[in-house]
Amino acid sequence: MSKVALITGITGQDGAYLAEYLIEKGYVVHGIKRRASLFNTERIDHLYQDPQVENCNLILHYGDLTDSLNLTRIIGEVQPDEIYNLAAMSYVKVSFDTPEYTANADGLGVLRVLEAVRLLNLIPKTRIYQASTSELYGLVQEVPQKETTPFYPRSPYAVAKLYGYWITVNYREAYKMHASNGILFNHESPLRGEMFVTRKVTRAVSRIAMGMQKEVYMGNLSSKRDWGHAKDYVRAMYLVLQQDQPDDYVIATGVTTTIRDFIKMAFAEIGLEVIFKGEDVNEVAVLNFIDENVFIEKVGEPYLEKIKKRIGEIVVGVDPQYFRPTEVDLLIGDASKARTQLNWEPEYSLDDLVKDMMESDVKLMKKESYLKKRILFKKWWI
């Protein structure tokens, strides 16, 4: 008999990679997706099968983490061996605009999942993974951050996730549930949402290289993040639920990088060198040098003449609208526990990640269909 997994947030970055990973392992995967006015399954369309197909291994249900009746019904029907609770309003900046909704979905939503499992008498059968986050460390109390580092959340998102973290621990201790937290540091990929900083950069750098956009405006260039590849991180989620005992694990690479350096790396990946000048809101990056051979190989000869004319011009600026009311300045994780107990190691380095994202975005920007759809590069929503 195949194992049955239920993934909330299956239409997101991690949900898509995890669904693919579990299907490859022979699972039957059920996913909860929200009703939207447009199709929102782009990341998992390649996995989708019509329900009429024999031995269909991906089944989608309409649902929402703010609706306990709906969640309880779905969990009762699916009777999952494993639940991966990945659904969340996951964009830190927007959580300052929608704090109540964020608390409901990201905080109480976790309680709804745990309570459904308890009320349905599924505790002996169902293991639960909760998508906790390095944002819990916020104003960091220790460097690097590990499982025992005290939390100090710095956004409505992180405060909601703090509730999710502790209610998971509490249900584990109170009801002996197999419920675990993965405290995941930032992880990115070609499927990353377009508003997060790495994807915003790799899209913009690709477009600037092809002459489709003059410059990109960013927020705080000095904050530091410990970035890994989402493919490595969904593997860790799976490993957490394969342990005999539930527990909490930091998942991180142990390398931290500024936003400024990530931008330099993205340009360098396609043969462009940028130099940062100025300070605070007046900081800019100027195009300084082109390695023509690399540019031709990675972007293409037809784009070379146009980019050559831009040497000495500004390609990155700062716009304070992207600053946050309270910032998380530094994240760097110590994943020793996961390395020893889960035998987890990341396979991708930061260089590999930048290469993967740049290759994908350069390709994507060349597709006319994509351009038509996303040609309006509105500043305010990212």
Active site residues: 133, 135, 157
Site for ligand G4F in 87-116 (CB under 6 A): 90, 92
- CB contact at 8 A, 154 and 203: no
Measured from the CB atom, the residue of 32 and 208 that comes closer to ligand NAP is 32
Helices 156-175 and 109-119, axial angle in degrees (round to 10): 20
Binding track over 70-89 against ligand NAP, x by CB under 6 A: ----------------xxxx
Q: How far is the CB of 221 from ligand NAP (least distance, A)?
A: 19
For residues 374 and 351, give the distance between their C-alpha atoms in angstroms, rounded to a whole number.
27
Site for ligand G4F in 126-145 (CB under 6 A): 133-135
For residues 267 and 274, give the distance between their C-alpha atoms in angstroms, rounded to a whole number.
7
Neighbours of 250 (CB within 10 A): 28
- CB contact at 8 A, 205 and 215: no
206 binds, among ligand G4F, ligand NAP, none (CB under 5 to 8 A by kind): none
- CB contact at 8 A, 41 and 119: no
Q: How far is the CB of 206 from ligand NAP (least distance, A)?
A: 20
The pair of three-digit structure tokens given for residue 296, joined into one six-digit string: 């031709």
Site for ligand G4F in 205-224 (CB under 6 A): 218-220, 223
181 binds, among ligand NAP, ligand G4F, none (CB under 5 to 8 A by kind): none
Site for ligand NAP in 44-73 (CB under 6 A): 64-66
Strand-pair category, 216-218 with 187-188: unpaired
Q: Does 34 bind ligand NAP (CB under 6 A)?
A: yes
195 binds, among ligand G4F, ligand NAP, none (CB under 5 to 8 A by kind): ligand G4F
Q: How far is the CB of 8 from ligand NAP (least distance, A)?
A: 6
Q: Does 285 bind ligand G4F (CB under 6 A)?
A: no
Torsion angle of C-alpha atoms 202, 333, 319, 98, degrees rounded to 10: 100
Q: How far is the CB of 194 from ligand NAP (least distance, A)?
A: 10
Counting residues that bind ligand NAP (by CB under 6 A) gives 26
Site for ligand NAP in 203-222 (CB under 6 A): none
C-alpha Rg value of the chain to the nearest Å: 21
- Report how far apart, in Å, the C-alpha atoms of 66 and of each of 34, 69, 180, 202, 346 are: 11, 9, 21, 33, 33
For residues 352 and 364, give the distance between their C-alpha atoms in angstroms, rounded to a whole number.
18
Identity of residue 371: L
Q: Does 168 bind ligand NAP (CB under 6 A)?
A: no
Q: Is 312 left (phi over 0), alpha (psi -120 to 50) or beta?
A: left
Binding track over 88-107 against ligand NAP, x by CB under 6 A: xxx--------------x--
Collapse the DSSP code of 45 into the 3-class scheme (helix H, G, I; strand E, B; otherwise coil) and give the result: helix
Figure out which of the listed residues 30, 187, 235, 310 binds ligand NAP, where binding follows CB under 6 A: 187
Measured from the CB atom, the residue of 163 and 196 that comes closer to ligand G4F is 196
DSSP 8-state assignment for residue 105: I
Residues that bind ligand NAP (CB under 6 A): 8-9, 11-15, 32, 34, 36, 40, 64-66, 86-90, 105, 131, 133, 184, 186-187, 193
Residues that bind ligand G4F (CB under 6 A): 90, 92, 133-135, 185-186, 195-197, 200, 218-220, 223, 225, 259, 322, 324, 327-328, 331
